[in-house]
Amino acid sequence: MNDILFAIAISIVNALLSLALLSIYYKNYTKMKSKFSLGLLFFAGFFVLQGLVAAYLQFFMSGSCAREMTDIAVTLNLIEALGLSALLVVTVSPC
């Protein structure tokens, strides 16, 4: 049960990282109004949605999932968290 809670926590962290990116991209879009900024808004928005849906599904399907599926979910969530963290660092760092 602890593994699935860890997977859920990472999914929530991923949603929060994506939400931070979404707010930065929204500020950039309001200033620049470029198609690229709009694309980044959609990109981050879908990642927020994905993180929340993943946490929801992992919570409500935790009793029916095999141990191997939980390990896969944790691994994929960790990889996503690393990627989103790197993207957030690059996004907020000065040129």
Contact residues for 73 (Cβ-Cβ < 8 A; gap 6+) = 4, 7, 54, 58, 65
pLDDT in tens, 66-82: 677 788 889 999 999 99
pLDDT in tens, 12-64: 999 999 999 999 999 999 999 999 999 999 999 999 999 999 999 888 877 77
